[in-house]
Chains A and B, each alone.
Chain A
Amino acid sequence: DTAVSQTPKYLVTQMGNDKSIKCEQNLGHDTMYWYKQDSKKFLKIMFSYNNKELIINETVPNRFSPKSPDKAHLNLHINSLELGDSAVYFCASSRMTDGEQFFGPGTRLTVL
């Protein structure tokens, strides 16, 4: 039983392309998150949705656009990819009032 899943696991693409990462959770959680982990392993929150409403929107370039079609899904679309976008992107989910966030397996994005 996969709790938080992401697709794809690996994504290799050229600069300037547009790509999407999808996330799904089957834990019944009401809140989902996107994190970016760079090459130095720093983990930084990007976005969060609670019941399909955007509640966290960090200082991320507007080339990044999250979308939550329902409480169980959160997607991340990235336009005009740049070299600096190369990182591992983690999706996570939780209940809003429970602290524990469950992370997906990550998507390793490489921009050439």
Chain B
Amino acid sequence: GENVEQHPSTLSVQEGDSAVIKCTYSDSASNYFPWYKQELGKRPQLIIDIRSNVGEKKDQRIAVTLNKTAKHFSLHITETQPEDSAVYFCAASFLGHYGGATNKLIFGTGTLLAVQP
């Protein structure tokens, strides 16, 4: 069945360092890969996403890379700040009008990122 593995489960970095979170997906039909940030007691919120026709996307301090052949995608946060501390979820889905697409997000198990000041 569909599965998304995410590593590490916890990550502690010093303020200003970089953080990398990695995910692997199983369903080769997946074509959309979002990353969500969830602060304690809050709702998940999209921070960046990438579609399968793109290998890399960047938005200020965050970037996502996708390797379709290996079915890997990663989140990179540079110059981390204490406010980056949260749980980060990767996800994969099959997006589109046709072919049974449902936009069903399969989430990874989450990474608790702690940025130490």
- B and A form one assembly: yes
| Range for the number of chain B residues in contact with chain A | 20 to 34
The reply to whether A100 and B97 contact each other, CB–CB distance below 8 Å, is no
Among the 9-residue stretches A11-19, A79-87, A103-111, the one with 4 or more Cβ atoms under 8 Å from chain B is A103-111
A106 to B97, CA, bound (A): 28
Contact A42 B43 (CB under 8 A): no
B107 touches A100 (CB 8 A): no
Q: Which residues of A contact B103 (CB under 8 A)?
A: 31, 48, 94, 96, 99, 101
* Known pairs A41-B110, A48-B104, A56-B102; A97 contacts B46 (CB<8 A): no
**B95 CB-CB contact with A under 8 Å:** yes
B96→A97 contact, CB < 8 A: yes
Closest to A101 in B: B105
Which A residues are in CB contact (< 8 Å) with B110? 41-43
User: Considering only CB atoms, which chain A residue lies closest to B49 in the complex?
Assistant: A99
Q: Is A76 an interface residue (CB 8 A)?
A: no
Over the window 75-113 of chain B, the binary record of Cβ atoms lying under 8 Å from chain A Cβ atoms (1 yes, 0 no) is 000000000000101000101110001111111011000
The interface size of chain A toward B, counting residues with CB under 8 Å, comes to 23
Q: Does B8 contact A (CB under 8 A)?
A: no
CB-CB contacts below 8 Å: A43-58 with B: 43-45, 48, 50, 55-56
B44 within 8 A of A: yes
Give CA–CA (A31, B103) in the complex, Å. Answer: 9
The residues of B with any CB-CB pair to A shorter than 8 Å are 32, 34, 38, 42-46, 49, 51, 87, 89, 93, 95-97, 101-107, 109-110
Please list 13 pairs of residues, one from A and one from B, whose beta carbons are closer than 8 Å in the complex, sorted by A's number: A44-B107, A45-B106, A90-B43, A97-B95, A99-B51, A99-B93, A99-B95, A100-B46, A101-B34, A101-B103, A103-B44, A103-B45, A105-B42
